[in-house]
């Protein structure tokens, strides 16, 4: 007996996916729960497992096809040869015959009565032209102004167009002609055209949506990384030995961001219609670059986590993001996002909001720069530029700057993070 391979529920607001690739071929023997096919949604790549052990008897969709939740991707049989794979051509032939039969029956009456159809068309076109029954004055005005019947809104008796109707139509600006979509340009030698993935298309849509919707503004500051780097170097080995994970900079920035958000609640809010929703929890999204594009898994309730728990969670997200193993519910619901372009060498940038969030923090490359110290001396210090983009519709400039300064203070003096200062 064959069993259908069905597209499962893919997560909130996700209704369709693209077939990325089949991991098995028709006729292959598969074990229960063995991955069969990869589906790419606009958030993550999902592997669909075999519902039972058997033989992959038929594949009903091809790579790059779009499928909806509940669609049948293929079938698994018990391997006795009497499965859907052999019946598939016969089923297609029957379906084709059924489809062709009504088409032929529908076409027959059209040949039998061509004359009434022509008469009906003439009658319809006459009724659709209000100038056909208009008076001489209206027709003369239309001829002089170049107005056609389709442009006139008749207001006279029995739907007749008057001279005033023609003059009103002539006064209106001509509607702009709809431009036909431009055909793809011809590829030049040395160029390669690759279809944009669903994830990449979704990233493009969301980034453009953020720019079109939010009143986006970016404020900058710079932070001295000396103290954080000293603590990290001092406790690096003992921290890893005790917790099994390396002590990085991200846990410090997550904790510093929470301190800033607590002091300025408006920065942890978002717009929902005509309302402002203030978040009293801190789910921090951490942007991770993958071969397929940028994804933002969320560290839930980061305010309750230790430094080690934050580092473990972010490290696990990074590994699974690159392997395409993230779950859909791990990519939604963040209240604040941190993006670290410094790992790629970026010195400064203006990060784009991650809708529906109303703020995002951008970290950058650490670089030695000459700084004037309080005593007037000049020292080379490890400095990092910070950038916070925010939605000016709900966050005032003073609030955004205050939040960013608190983040800066927490990094420059990590003791503040211990005493919630």
Residue numbers annotated as active site: 392, 396
Query: Residue 130 in contact with residue 160, Cβ under 8 Å?
Result: yes
Distance CA 371, CA 348 (A): 18
Torsion of CA 115, 120, 125, 131, to 10 degrees: 110
Distance CA 296, CA 363 (A): 15
Helix (H, G, I), strand (E, B) or coil at 175: coil
Beta strands in 229-289 (DSSP E): 269-272, 275-278, 284-286, 288-289
Q: Looking at the DSSP assignment, which residues form a beta bridge with residue 294?
A: 289
Residues in contact with 76: Cβ distance below 8 Å, sequence separation at least 6, in sequence order:
2, 3, 5, 30, 50, 51, 52, 54, 55, 56, 57
Query: Residue 316 in contact with residue 69, Cβ under 8 Å?
Result: no
Determine phi and psi for 64, rounding to 5 degrees.
80, 0
Query: Residue 45 in contact with residue 324, Cβ under 8 Å?
Result: yes
Query: Residue 289 in contact with residue 407, Cβ under 8 Å?
Result: no
């Amino acid at each position: 007996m064959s069993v259908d391979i069905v597209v499962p529920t893919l997560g909130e607001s996700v209704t369709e996916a693209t077939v990325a690739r089949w991991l098995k071929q028709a006729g292959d023997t598969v074990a229960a729960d063995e991955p069969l096919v990869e589906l790419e949604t606009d958030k993550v790549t999902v592997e669909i497992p075999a519902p039972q052990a058997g033989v992959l008897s038929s594949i009903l969709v091809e790579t790059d096809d779009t499928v909806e939740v509940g669609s049948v991707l293929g079938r698994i049989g018990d391997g006795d040869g009497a499965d859907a794979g052999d019946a598939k051509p016969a089923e297609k032939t029957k379906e084709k015959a059924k489809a062709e039969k009504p088409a032929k029956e529908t076409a027959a009456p059209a040949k039998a009565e061509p004359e009434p159809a022509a008469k009906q068309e003439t009658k319809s076109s006459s009724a659709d032209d209000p100038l056909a029954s208009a008076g001489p004055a209206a027709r003369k005005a239309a001829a002089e102004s170049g107005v056609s019947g389709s442009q006139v809104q008749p207001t006279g008796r029995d739907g007749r167009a008057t001279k005033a109707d023609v003059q009103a139509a002539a006064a209106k600006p001509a509607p702009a002609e709809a431009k036909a979509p431009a055909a793809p340009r011809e590829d030049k030698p040395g160029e390669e055209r690759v279809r944009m993935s669903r994830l990449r298309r979704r990233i493009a849509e969301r980034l453009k949506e953020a720019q079109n919707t939010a009143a986006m503004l970016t404020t900058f500051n710079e932070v001295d990384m000396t103290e954080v780097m000293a603590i990290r170097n001092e406790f690096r080995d003992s921290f890893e030995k005790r917790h099994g994970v390396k002590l990085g900079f991200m846990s410090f920035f997550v904790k510093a961001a929470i301190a800033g958000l607590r002091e300025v609640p408006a920065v942890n809010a978002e717009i929902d219609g005509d309302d402002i929703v203030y978040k009293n929890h801190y789910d921090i999204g951490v942007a991770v670059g993958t071969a397929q594009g940028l994804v933002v898994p969320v560290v839930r309730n980061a305010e309750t986590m230790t430094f080690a728990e934050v580092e473990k969670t972010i490290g696990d997200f990074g590994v699974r993001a690159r392997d395409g193993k993230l779950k859909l519910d791990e990519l939604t619901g963040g209240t604040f996002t941190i993006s670290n372009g410094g790992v790629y060498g970026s010195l400064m940038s203006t990060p784009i909001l991650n809708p529906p969030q109303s703020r995002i923090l951008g970290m950058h490359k650490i670089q030695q720069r000459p700084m004037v110290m309080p005593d007037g001396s000049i020292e080379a210090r490890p400095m990092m530029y910070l950038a916070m983009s925010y939605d000016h519709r709900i966050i005032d400039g003073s609030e955004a700057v205050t939040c960013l300064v608190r983040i800066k203070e927490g990094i420059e003096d990590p003791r503040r993070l211990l005493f919630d200062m």
